[in-house]
Amino acid sequence: MFQVSEATLVTTGELMAPGPVLSLLGFCAIVALAARRVPGAALIGMLGVAAVGLLLGVSEWKGVASLPPDPTPTLLALDIAGALQAGMIAVVLTFLIVDLFDTAGTLIGVAHQAELLDDRGKLPRIERALIADSTGTVGGALLGTSPVTSYIESAAGASAGGRTGLTAVTVAVLFLACLFFAPLAGSIPDYATASAILYVACLMARPLVDVNWRDVTESAAAIITVIAIPLTFSIADGIGIGFLTYVLIKVMAGRRRECSPMLIAVALLFAIKFAWL
Closest among 73, 66, 68, 67 to 144, alpha carbons compared? 73
Among the listed residues 192, 186, 183, 185, the one whose alpha carbon sits nearest the alpha carbon of residue 53: 192
pLDDT at 144: 80
CA dist., res. 185 & res. 178, Å (int) = 7
pTM, 2 dp: 0.72
Bridge pairing between strands 9-12 and 2-5: antiparallel
Contacts of 163 (CB under 8 A, 6+ apart): 114, 115, 116
Per-residue pLDDT, 161: 76
What pLDDT score was predicted for residue 2? 59
Q: pLDDT value at position 74?
A: 80
pLDDT at 248: 94
Three-state secondary structure along 138-179?
HHHHHHCCCCCCCCCCHHHHHHCCCCCHHHHHHHHHHHHHHC
- pLDDT at position 105 is 76
Which residues have C-beta within 8 Å of that of residue 42, sequence separation ≥ 6? 30, 34, 156, 159, 160, 196, 199, 200
DSSP designation for 120: T
Which residues have CB under 8 Å from 149's CB, separation 6+?
A: 99, 102, 103, 106, 133, 136, 137, 140
pLDDT at 14: 77
Distance CA 154, CA 110 (A): 7
For 193-229, how does the pLDDT look when each residue is reduced to its tens digit (9 = 90+)? Answer: 899 888 888 887 877 888 889 999 999 999 999 898 8
Q: What is the pLDDT of residues 59-85, one digit of tens each?
A: 888 888 888 888 888 888 777 777 777
Residues of the chain short of pLDDT 50, as ranges, are none
Q: Report whether 167 contacts 156 (CB < 8 A).
A: no
